[in-house]
């Protein structure tokens, strides 16, 4: 049996950044990135910190939506993801900076807003990370983050996770259920925010959207090769990565058809003031 390794759950390197941007971003992340940018657009801001920026999908949305005078600092733990984001570029200059969300390298009360798209699920001590985000927020500033709802509400991820179980029945890759879709309980989120020092009541919006891919194989590549699911598969048997991708693609095709595919996805968007 392959033991779960927390470090591989957070490892976005090698082939993953390019595949993540090519397949995952348009399929899952772009619609919610635009949602975050729209929520910040009406606010009066001088600067924004993004935590867990990945390949920059939210960064690009912020750079295109917020006024030119709003400074944007985009951080991520994984330098290869930031390198790929910087190569893609933004509509205007932003500052890219490697940083650990558990120990942000910024002064107290430095930012008017902190945003984090689908990153809080990866944080080993969420209350501590929220405390760091609160620390760098100015009084009256806002934290905006999102987190996936339970995996059953996210059809592509659920279908592929179940398909991989047939390939590795004794030790199925469960990264998608365990991490991205493992932090959906509203009470747990509210508890961790209090643990991080937030006293204002958070607003939580459950927002369904549609997840689209050009083909079943695109959806399968996105999850099997463009996320740490790849690390899980290769840890079990590196020679079976293509087979696993084929099994996932076949499962998507059976459920959604063989052409362009469209499935439900759902996330919680959380806003809380300092």
- Which domains, ranges and CATH numbers included, belong to the chain? 6-273 (3.40.50.150)
Which pLDDT score, from 0 to 100, does residue 24 have?
A: 87
Q: Dihedrals φ, ψ of 48, to 5°?
A: -135, 135
Per-residue pLDDT band at 154 (split at 50, 70, 90): very high
Which pLDDT score, from 0 to 100, does residue 18 have?
A: 80
Q: Residue 1 and residue 71: Cα distance in Å, rounded?
A: 48
Which pLDDT score, from 0 to 100, does residue 15 have?
A: 59
pLDDT cut 90: percent of the chain above it: 88
C-alpha distances out from residue 100 to 115, 147, 161, 204, Å? 14, 18, 29, 25
Asked if pLDDT for residue 14 goes beyond 70, the answer is no
Q: Residue 83 and residue 219: Cα distance in Å, rounded?
A: 24
16-25, 26-35, 249-258: which has the minimum mean pLDDT?
Answer: 16-25
Work out the average pLDDT over 21-41. Answer: 94
Which pLDDT score, from 0 to 100, does residue 21 have?
A: 87
> Nearest 10 degrees: CA dihedral of 176, 179, 181, 183?
170
């Amino acid at each position: 049996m392959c033991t779960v390794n927390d470090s591989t759950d957070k490892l976005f390197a090698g082939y993953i950044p390019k595949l993540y941007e090519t397949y995952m971003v348009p399929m899952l992340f772009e619609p919610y990135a635009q949602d975050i940018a729209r929520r910040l657009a009406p606010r009066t801001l001088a600067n924004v910190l993004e935590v867990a920026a990945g390949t920059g999908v939210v960064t690009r949305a912020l750079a295109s939506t917020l006024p030119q005078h709003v400074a944007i600092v985009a951080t991520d733990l994984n330098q290869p993801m930031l390198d790929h984001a910087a190569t893609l570029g933004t509509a205007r200059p932003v500052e890219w900076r490697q940083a650990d969300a558990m120990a942000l390298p910024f002064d107290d009360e430095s930012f008017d807003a902190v945003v984090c798209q689908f990153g809080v699920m990866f944080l080993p001590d969420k209350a501590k990370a929220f405390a760091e985000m609160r620390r760098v927020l100015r009084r009256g500033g806002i934290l905006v983050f999102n987190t996936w709802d339970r995996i059953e509400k996210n059809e592509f991820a659920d279908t592929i996770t179940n398909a991989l179980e047939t390939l590795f029945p004794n030790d199925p890759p469960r990264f998608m259920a365990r991490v991205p879709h493992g932090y959906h309980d509203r009470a747990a989120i509210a508890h961790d925010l209090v643990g991080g020092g937030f006293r204002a009541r958070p607003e939580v919006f459950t927002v369904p959207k549609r997840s689209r891919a050009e083909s079943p194989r695109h959806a399968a590549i996105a999850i099997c090769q463009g996320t740490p699911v790849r690390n899980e598969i290769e840890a079990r048997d590196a020679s079976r990565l293509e087979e696993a991708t084929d099994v996932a693609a076949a499962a998507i095709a059976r459920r959604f058809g063989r052409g362009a595919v469209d499935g439900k996805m759902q996330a919680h968007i959380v806003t809380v003031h300092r």
